[in-house]
Amino acid sequence: MTGHAVVIAGGGPTGLMLAGELALAGADVAIVERRASQDLPGSRAGGLHSRTIEVLDQRGIADRFLAQGQIAQVQSFARIPLDISDFPTRHPYGLGLWQSHVERILGGWVEELAVPIYRGCDVTGFAQDGTGVDVELSDGRSLRAGYLVGCDGGRSLIRKVAGIGFPGWDPTSSSLVAEVEMDGEPEWGLRRDDKGIHSLDRLEDGEQVRVVVRERHIGHTGEATLRDLSEALIAVWGTDYGVHSPVWISRFTDMTRQAASYRDRRVLLAGDAAHMHSPVGGQGLNTGVQDAVNLGWKLAQVVRGISPENLLDTYHAERHPVAARVLQTTMAQTALTRSDARVDALRGTMSELLSMEGPRKRLAGMMSGLDIHYDLGAGHPLLGRRMPDLDLATASGPLRVFTLLHDARPVLLNFGEPSGLDITPRIERIQFVDAKCAGVWELPALGQVTAPTAVLIRPDGYVAWVGDITHSGLPDALTTWFGPSAAATRCGQKPIRPATQFLDTGLTA
Ligand X SMILES: Cc1cc2nc3c(=O)[nH]c(=O)nc-3n(C[C@H](O)[C@H](O)[C@H](O)COP(=O)(O)OP(=O)(O)OC[C@H]3O[C@@H](n4cnc5c(N)ncnc54)[C@H](O)[C@@H]3O)c2cc1C
Binding residue for ligand X, selected from 288, 296, 388, 459, defined by CB under 6 A: 288
Nearest to 321 by CA among 347, 341, 296, 291: 291
Decide if residue 123 touches ligand X (CB under 6 A): yes
Decide if residue 251 touches ligand X (CB under 6 A): no
Cα pseudo-dihedral 111, 114, 116, 119, rounded to 10: 10
Q: Which is nearer to ligand X, 221 or 472 (CB)?
A: 221
Cα pseudo-dihedral 153, 156, 158, 160, rounded to 10: 160
Decide if residue 88 touches ligand X (CB under 6 A): no
Decide if residue 13 touches ligand X (CB under 6 A): yes
Residues 6+ apart with CB under 8 A from 378: none
**Contact pattern for ligand X over residues 171 through 190, marking x by CB under 6 A:** ------x-------------
**Contact pattern for ligand X over residues 259 through 278, marking x by CB under 6 A:** ------------xx------
Q: Which is nearer to ligand X, 277 or 347 (CB)?
A: 277
Decide if residue 215 touches ligand X (CB under 6 A): no
Q: What is 68-121 written as a DSSP string?
A: TSEEE---EETTEE---TTSSSS--SEEE--HHHHHHHHHHHHHHTT--EEET-
DSSP 203: -
Decide if residue 99 touches ligand X (CB under 6 A): yes
Q: What is 30-74 written as a DSSP string?
A: EEEESSSSS--SS----EE-HHHHHHHHHTT-HHHHHTTSEEE--
Decide if residue 285 touches ligand X (CB under 6 A): yes
Decide if residue 369 touches ligand X (CB under 6 A): no
CB neighbour burial string for 169-204, b if at least 16 within 10 angstroms, e if fewer: eeebbbbbbbbbebeeebeeeeebeebbbbebbeee
Interior angle at CA 330, CA 325 and CA 335, nearest 5: 130
Integer Cα distance of 464 and 459 in angstroms: 10
Whole-number minimum distance, CB 469 to ligand X, in Å? 38
Backbone angles phi, psi at 460, to 5 degrees: -85, 5
Contacts with ligand X in 145-174 (CB under 6 A)?
A: 151-153, 157
Whole-number minimum distance, CB 252 to ligand X, in Å? 4
> 244 by DSSP, 3-state: which?
strand
Contact present, 212 and 176 (Cβ < 8 Å): yes
CB under 6 A: which stretch of 31-39, 162-170, 181-189, 191-199 binds ligand X?
Answer: 31-39
Binding residue for ligand X, selected from 3, 12, 444, 467, defined by CB under 6 A: 12
Decide if residue 122 touches ligand X (CB under 6 A): yes
Integer Cα distance of 430 and 424 in angstroms: 9
Give, for 287, the enclosing helix (H) or strand (E).
helix 284-303
Binding residue for ligand X, selected from 3, 6, 7, 11, defined by CB under 6 A: 11
Decide if residue 107 touches ligand X (CB under 6 A): no
Whole-number minimum distance, CB 372 to ligand X, in Å? 15
Decide if residue 364 touches ligand X (CB under 6 A): no
Whole-number minimum distance, CB 148 to ligand X, in Å? 11
Decide if residue 79 touches ligand X (CB under 6 A): no
Give, for 14, the enclosing helix (H) or strand (E).
helix 13-24
Q: Which is nearer to ligand X, 151 or 322 (CB)?
A: 151
How many chain residues bind ligand X (CB under 6 A)?
A: 33
Whole-number minimum distance, CB 327 to ligand X, in Å? 12
Contacts with ligand X in 45-64 (CB under 6 A)?
A: 45-47
Q: Which is nearer to ligand X, 107 or 410 (CB)?
A: 107
Nearest to 166 by CA among 318, 296, 8, 275: 275
Decide if residue 94 touches ligand X (CB under 6 A): no
Decide if residue 284 touches ligand X (CB under 6 A): yes
Sign of the CA dihedral with 458 first, then 460, 464, and 469 last: positive
Q: Which is nearer to ligand X, 284 or 410 (CB)?
A: 284
Binding residue for ligand X, selected from 4, 6, 21, 33, defined by CB under 6 A: 33
- CB-count exposure of residue 450 (10 Å: 0-12, 13-18, 19+): exposed
Decide if residue 69 touches ligand X (CB under 6 A): no
> 151 by DSSP, 3-state: which?
coil
Q: Which is nearer to ligand X, 99 or 301 (CB)?
A: 99
Q: List residues near ligand X by CB under 6 A.
A: 9-15, 32-35, 44-47, 99, 122-123, 151-153, 157, 177, 252, 271-272, 279, 282-286, 288
